[in-house]
């Protein structure tokens, strides 16, 4: 699998760190203890700042200049556009507009510390930079767990943040519970609550990032509600046919396929869709090690079949594509949230939810 981790020629190190576990593709720094934000930013090679610099274009003939045109040594200043540049090695990261506001890497770490009201509760687990350092990502573990069944099915609570310095995307922070037994990211959106915050790089971005921790601070409330829901699902028994039906409806790609499913017209379903469903169903039925005894054969187990399929069976072009699909609003995240909705409806309506 390809990787796009930044290699810092000045330090001779990859811009990535991981706590206790083997770093991405064996690259980067492995540390034994959870670092503070000040330590994490150095371990990950993110201790650089980014500035906006004017852009100039070479011109062969200069006829005239006025107040609105800036010319320097036969170079014409490009209006309204700037280069974003790393101050540690002068690498150009991208071209942005005049309204683009930089959020420094250290400010992204400050966001994490603010969530728990200090540096004691947050546990930085991974962080790094991609490309030339134009995109960074940070994951941190929150205190406490979500416990399901007899308490032997444990889900850890994570906050994930990614931002770019090249104008290619928003600042995105997400609450992502991860089920330890199979490393499934349990994507769910409760009514009137969100597990994702997106902030554009415009005026006030820094202030909105500072305020965002209040929104993401709902993560504990969110996780408490999830714990109650998951434990109720662990008491609802489902048979194999119901599990397959849930998978079909969760993975349904369009309205036409949905209509075929509702009318039982399986003959019209595409071969690609049928194969995808069979792969997910096989994972649900044969992966005994992926589901605890207290939750296997339950509604919670069916939900995990969908999330687990996208993370343990589905193939991706590379790790970045997988990250995009699972965390950053891609197909896996959307389908997992659809599975959450279906399981909620099944608990309330039984098999009538498929009509």
Concatenating the DSSP letter of every residue in 317-333 gives: SSHHHHHHHHTSSSHHH
Average pLDDT, stretch 31-47?
86
Give φ, ψ of 70 to 5 degrees.
Answer: -110, 120
Residue 314 pLDDT class (50, 70, 90 cuts): confident
The Cα 104–Cα 318 span in angstroms is 27
The runs of H, that is alpha helices, within 195-298 are 205-216, 219-233, 240-251, 255-263, 271-286
φ, ψ of residue 320 to 5 degrees: the values are -70, -40
Among 167, 129, 95, smallest CA distance to 14 is for 129
Cβ pair 163, 197 in contact under 8 A: no
- Which residues have C-beta within 8 Å of that of residue 348, sequence separation ≥ 6? none
The SS3 assignment for 137 reads strand
Strands 50-58 and 123-130: unpaired
Residue 70: pLDDT band (50, 70, 90) is low
Question: 3-class DSSP state for residue 69?
Answer: coil
Nearest alpha-carbon partner for 185 in 324, 285, 3: 324
In the 8-state DSSP scheme, what is residue 209? H
d(CA 96, CA 166): 7
More confident position, 158 or 272? 272
Strand (E) or helix (H) holding 42: helix 37-43
Distance, in Å, from the CA atom of 36 to the CA atom of 16, rounded to the nearest integer, reads 15
pLDDT for position 21: 67
Q: How big is the CA angle at 341 (ends 336 and 345), to the nearest 5 degrees? A: 145
Least confident interval from 8-12, 26-30, 264-268, 291-295: 291-295
Instruction: Determine what percent of the chain is predicted with pLDDT higher than 90.
Output: 5
Cα angle value 156/159/165 (rounded, 5°): 150
Integer Cα distance of 5 and 229 in angstroms: 38
Task: Say what the pLDDT of residue 328 is.
Answer: 66
Residue 307 and residue 250: Cα distance in Å, rounded?
A: 10
pLDDT at 47 over 80: yes
Q: How far is CA 58 from the centre of its chain?
A: 41
Name which of 5, 12, 14, 30 is nearest 126 in CA terms: 30
Per-residue pLDDT tens digits for 101-149: 888 888 888 777 776 555 456 788 888 888 888 988 888 887 777 777 7
pLDDT at 180: 58
| Alpha carbon distance 344, 348 (integer Å) | 7
State the pLDDT confidence band at 1, using cuts at 50, 70 and 90: very low
CA atoms of 97 and 95, how far apart (whole Å): 7
The percent of residues above 70 in pLDDT, for the chain, comes to: 75
Angle between helices 255-263 and 240-251 (to 10 degrees): 160
């Amino acid at each position: 699998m390809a990787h796009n981790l930044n290699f810092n020629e000045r330090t001779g190190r990859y811009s990535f760190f991981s706590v206790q576990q083997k770093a991405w593709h064996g690259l980067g720094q492995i540390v034994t203890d959870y670092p503070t934000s000040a330590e994490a930013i150095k371990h990950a090679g993110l201790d650089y700042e980014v500035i906006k610099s004017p852009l100039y274009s070479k011109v062969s003939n200069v006829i005239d200049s006025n107040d609105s045109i800036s010319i320097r040594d036969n170079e014409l200043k490009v209006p309204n556009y700037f280069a974003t540049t790393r101050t540690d090695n002068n690498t150009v990261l991208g071209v942005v507009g005049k309204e683009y506001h930089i959020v420094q890497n250290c400010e992204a770490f400050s966001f994490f510390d603010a969530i728990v009201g200090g540096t004691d509760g947050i546990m930085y687990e991974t962080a790094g930079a991609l490309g030339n350092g134009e995109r960074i990502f940070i994951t941190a573990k929150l205190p406490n767990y979500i416990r399901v069944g007899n308490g032997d099915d444990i889900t850890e609570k994570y906050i994930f943040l990614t931002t770019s310095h090249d104008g290619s995307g928003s600042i995105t922070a997400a609450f992502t519970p991860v089920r330890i037994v199979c490393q499934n990211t349990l994507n769910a959106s409760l009514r009137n609550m969100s597990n994702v915050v997106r902030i554009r790089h415009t005026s006030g971005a820094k202030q909105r990032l500072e305020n965002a921790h209040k929104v993401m601070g709902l993560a504990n409330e969110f996780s408490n509600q999830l714990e109650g829901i998951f434990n109720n699902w662990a008491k609802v028994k489902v048979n194999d046919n119901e599990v397959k039906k849930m998978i079909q409806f969760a993975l349904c790609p369009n309205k036409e396929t949905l209509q075929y499913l509702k009318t039982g017209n399986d003959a019209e379903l595409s071969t690609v869709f049928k194969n995808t469903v069979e792969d997910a169903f096989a994972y649900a039925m044969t992966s005994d090690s992926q589901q605890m005894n207290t939750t296997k054969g339950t509604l919670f187990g069916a939900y995990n079949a969908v999330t687990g399929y996208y993370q343990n069976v589905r193939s991706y072009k590379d790790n970045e594509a997988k990250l995009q699909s699972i965390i950053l609003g891609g197909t896996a995240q959307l389908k997992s949230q659809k599975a959450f909705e279906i399981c909620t409806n099944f608990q309330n309506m039984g098999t009538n939810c498929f009509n």
